[in-house]
C-alpha cells in the first residue's frame, strides 16, 4: 500500500528555536527595524555600496551558519526515516532541514540558501564561509574573485523572481500531496502562500501550525497555535504512526 505524500511548507517560525529571528512575527526583524528590509532588497543592494556593506555586516553578525537544527527540524527528518514520503518546501535559507538529516533532494529551497554566495555577473558560487572570511580579513564589500562583479548571498532578495524550475517543482509537489502542513509561516508572501490554497484545491488536507492567524486558516482542516517545537513533533509522530489526520 502506497503511503500518502506529506508536503511541508516551512517558514521562519520553524527556525526561531534555533536562534534565527523571524521577519513578520510580533518580534520580527522587519517590525523592529523596517529599514533592515532594504539590506535584502535587490535594487537597493545593487545600487548602493553602503547598503551592501551594511548587508554583509548583518550576515557576519547573524550567526546563521552556526545555528543548529531544533526539535521541529529533527521531527521532519524522523518522519521521512519512518517511511512516510516527505517533501519540504521551505521559505527559509538556513539549510537546517538538511542539517537535521533530511536528504537535500527532498528539500525545495524557494528562496535559495544563505550558505553560499553568488556573483551577480558571472554567477560563480562558493561557500559563504569564504566570503565571511574576507570580511574578517578587512574587506567590507567583497567583489567576485573571478570577474570583479558584485557578490551577494545565494538567496532570492526582495525584488527578485523565484527560480521558475524551483517554483515548478514546488507546484508539482503541492498538487500531488495528500497532506499539506504549513508551519511557521504567515502565509502572506506570494507565491509561496498560494501553495496552501492550491493544495486544498487538489484535495489535500491542510494543517497550519503557526503562532498567529493566517489568511488560509478558514480552509484548513486543522489549525495549531501551540509552540512549533512541541506541536510539530507531536503532529508528525501521529502521521508517522498512520494516524487519522492523514485522511
Residues annotated as part of the active site: 111
Distance CA 77, CA 88 (A): 10
Q: How many C-alpha atoms does 82 have within 13 Å on its Cβ side?
A: 19
For residue 170, the surrounding DSSP H or E stretch is helix 164-176
Distance CA 212, CA 154 (A): 29
Q: Which residues pair with 155 in a beta bridge?
A: 112
For residue 119, the surrounding DSSP H or E stretch is strand 112-119
Place of cell 515548478: 168
Report which DSSP code applies to 37: G
Dihedral sign from CA coordinates of 29, 227, 113, 158: negative
Distance CA 167, CA 195 (A): 10
Neighbouring residues of 140: CB distance < 8 A, sequence distance ≥ 6: 53, 56, 57
- 231, 13 Cβ separation under 8 angstroms: no
Amino acid at each position: 500500500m502506497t503511503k500518502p505524500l506529506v508536503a511541508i511548507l516551512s517558514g521562519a517560525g520553524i527556525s526561531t528555536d534555533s536562534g534565527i529571528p523571524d521577519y513578520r512575527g510580533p518580534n520580527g526583524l522587519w517590525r523592529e527595524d523596517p529599514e533592515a528590509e532594504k539590506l535584502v532588497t535587490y535594487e537597493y543592494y545593487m545600487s548602493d555600496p553602503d547598503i551592501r556593506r551594511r548587508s554583509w555586516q548583518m550576515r557576519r553578525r547573524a550567526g546563521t551558519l552556526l545555528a543548529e537544527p531544533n526539535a521541529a527540524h529533527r521531527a521532519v527528518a524522523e518522519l521521512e526515516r519512518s517511511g512516510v514520503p516527505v517533501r519540504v518546501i521551505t521559505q527559509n535559507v538556513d539549510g537546517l532541514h538538511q542539517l537535521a538529516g533530511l536528504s537535500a533532494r527532498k528539500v525545495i529551497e524557494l528562496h535559495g540558501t544563505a550558505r553560499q554566495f553568488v556573483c551577480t555577473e558571472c554567477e560563480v558560487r562558493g561557500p559563504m564561509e569564504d566570503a565571511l572570511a574576507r570580511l574578517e580579513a578587512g574587506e567590507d564589500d567583497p567583489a567576485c574573485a573571478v570577474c570583479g562583479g558584485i557578490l551577494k548571498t545565494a538567496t532570492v532578495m526582495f525584488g527578485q523572481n523565484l527560480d521558475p524550475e524551483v517554483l515548478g517543482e514546488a507546484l508539482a509537489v503541492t498538487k500531488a500531496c495528500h497532506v499539506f502542513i504549513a508551519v511557521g509561516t504567515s502565509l502572506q508572501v506570494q507565491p509561496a502562500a498560494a501553495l496552501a490554497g492550491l493544495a486544498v484545491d487538489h484535495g489535500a488536507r491542510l494543517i497550519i501550525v503557526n503562532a498567529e492567524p493566517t489568511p488560509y486558516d478558514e480552509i484548513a482542516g486543522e489549525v495549531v497555535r501551540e509552540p512549533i517545537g512541541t506541536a510539530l513533533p507531536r503532529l508528525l509522530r501521529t502521521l508517522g504512526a498512520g494516524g487519522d489526520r492523514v485522511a
